[in-house]
Structure 1
Amino acid sequence: MSEIITFSFVALLLVMSPGPNGALIIKTASRQGRRASFSNIAGLFIATFCHGALSIFGLSAIMLQSAELFFLIKLIGAAYLFYVGFKAIYYSFKTYSLSDKQKITEHSLKPKKRSSLGGGFGSLSEGFFTQLLNPKVSMFYMAAFPQFMGEDGATYATAFILVTIHASIIAAWFISLTLAIDIIKQRSNYAVLGKWVQRISGSVMIYFSGLLLTQKT
């Protein structure tokens, strides 16, 4: 029981710390609304179980032992995070190319229409790959997670309970963040601030893409 409490606390700190997931949710919730953000969160939730499965079945250890494979994974992850960050910055200029007053009216009174990657599956995929390629989460499941499984290793059921706790914390935290952003968006001046939210969150994603490339095994 004490291990579960300790794990929950560590997982909470991991989720609350700044990273690609938070930048993604802020970007999506501020621009596309809470429905798309909830789809992002569903993707984060699913990808967490993928990380857990890789660690539980020993595949993460294999990745760590292969420098070439680990570098390839880092390269793919960095490229994807850069793409998401660049897209957020690009659309911040495109979305707010009209006058601020006009955009305030549009964003305040009309829901954001789904784009090709905006709703449903697109947002879920964005959340899934951001979490799957998240350097913080990857290192957590490669290095820290096995320590909570004990010297003899935990049963699969116990290990997946820990993963479920982590995934649930992710869902609860980012749902709360989404709802908070949704409340802030009701303010009439949010559309003016929104472009800077997009640019900052996009810059954070690009920063973590560079951080991932410099990460050592």
Structure 2
Amino acid sequence: MDLINLLTFVVVVALLVISPGPNGLLIAKTVPVSGRAAGFANIGGFVAAFYVHGTLSVFGISVLLVQSAQAFFIFKVLGAMYLCWIGFKSLLSAWKAQSVIADAGVKPGAKAISHAGAFAEGFLTNVLNPKVSMFYLAAFPQFLSMDAPASQAYLLVSAHALINLIWFSCMVMLLSRLKGLAGRPQFTRWLKSVTGVVFIGFGAKLAYLKP
């Protein structure tokens, strides 16, 4: 792979990473409530999922997934259900917080997620998203020759992971300044409500995705 191809791939991936999506929303949900370390755990989950999709693409399993309508449908539905589950969970949490204030006048505390839980959320959000595999399947032939070794494919996956790490690390550092807002019930309800609605929207969009 020559340098021009690698730089072109980096530009394409950078534009993809900075565009709004579930990963950025997950970071925005996690960091103000659970802190900087949990946000980095989210990112670790993203990166791990990219290597899973990259490996599937290298060994051709993703091709079978995309070509099999039934397998693609099952995988897509699982991903959509997971995103909607995160959304409904956030909406339920926001509704419970409002009920506590209305019924008892108690200030609700925002429940922080564990680092393992944050990693799992980041991993599942991406590993159950067939669009990642579809991206690799579309990108690899454009930037790699037919006889390219698997190491070059993993180089592209690593470039994708590194750009995600840089972009979302900057987001984590920025959002960590808002952690003090998590103790304010109005901010907590607003954040969980917006997160819930948008995640359900992403889930619905994924449900209508076609291979």
Q: Which residues of 2 match residues 9-48 of structure 1 at below 5 A?
A: 9-48=11-50
Contact conserved, 1:81 with 1:205, CA < 8 A, in 2?
yes
Q: CA deviation at 1:95?
A: 4.1
Which of 194, 197, 206 is the equivalent residue of 2:200? Answer: 206
Q: For residue 128 of structure 1, what is the aligned residue in structure 2?
A: 123
Asked if structure 1 preserves the Cα contact closer than 8 Å seen for 2:33 and 2:111, the reply is no
**2:114 matched residue in structure 1:** 119
The percentage of aligned residue pairs carrying the same residue is 41
Q: What's the CA shift for 1:188?
A: 9.2
> What is the aligned counterpart of 2:135 among 140, 150, 158?
140
Judging changes above 3 Å, is the alpha-carbon distance between structure 1 residues 97 and 154 closer, same or farther for their aligned structure 2 residues?
A: farther
Inter-CA distance 22–145: structure 2 relative to 1 (3 Å threshold):
farther
Residue ranges of structure 2 left out of the alignment (5+ in a row): none
CA displacement, residues 66-96 of structure 1 (integer Å, 9 cap, x when unaligned): 1100001001111111111111222223345
- Partners of 2:182 and 2:139 in 1: CA distance: 44
Mapped partners of 1:147, 1:57: distance in 2: 17
Q: CA deviation at 1:149?
A: 1.7
TM-score by length of 1: 0.85
Q: Which residue of 1 aligns with 2:87?
A: 85
Q: Alignment partner for residue 144 of structure 2, among 143, 146, 149?
A: 149
| In structure 2, C-alpha distance between the alignment counterparts of 1:209 and 1:113, rounded to whole Å | 24
CA contact (8 A) 2:90 2:196 kept: yes
| Equivalent-residue separation in structure 2 for 1:160 and 1:17 (angstroms) | 23
Q: In structure 1, which of residues 184, 194, 202 is the aligned counterpart of residue 188 of structure 2?
A: 194
Distance verdict in 2 for CA 1:36–1:92, change over 3 Å = farther
Moved more, 86-95 or 4-13: 86-95
CA displacement at 1:187 relative to structure 2: 6.0
CA contact (8 A) 2:6 2:156 kept: yes
Amino acid at match of 1:18: P
Contact 1:27–1:88 (8 Å) recurs in 2: no
Match of 1:70 in 2: 72
Tell whether the 8 Å contact from 1:20 to 1:130 is kept in structure 2 after alignment: yes
CA RMSD after TM alignment: 2.4
Change (3 A) 1:144 1:188: closer
CA distance in 1, matches of 2:184, 2:18: 24
Query: Displacement, 1:98?
Result: 5.0
Cα offset, 1:194, TM superposition: 3.3
Mapped to 2, the partners of 1:171 and 1:90 lie a distance apart of 30
Compute the displacement of 1:179 (Å).
Answer: 1.2
Q: How far apart are the structure 2 equivalents of 1:189 and 1:113?
A: 10
Alignment CA distance shift 1:216-1:175 (3 Å) = same
How many residues in Structure 1 have an aligned counterpart in Structure 2? 207
- Answer whether contact 1:184 1:190 (CA < 8 A) is retained: no
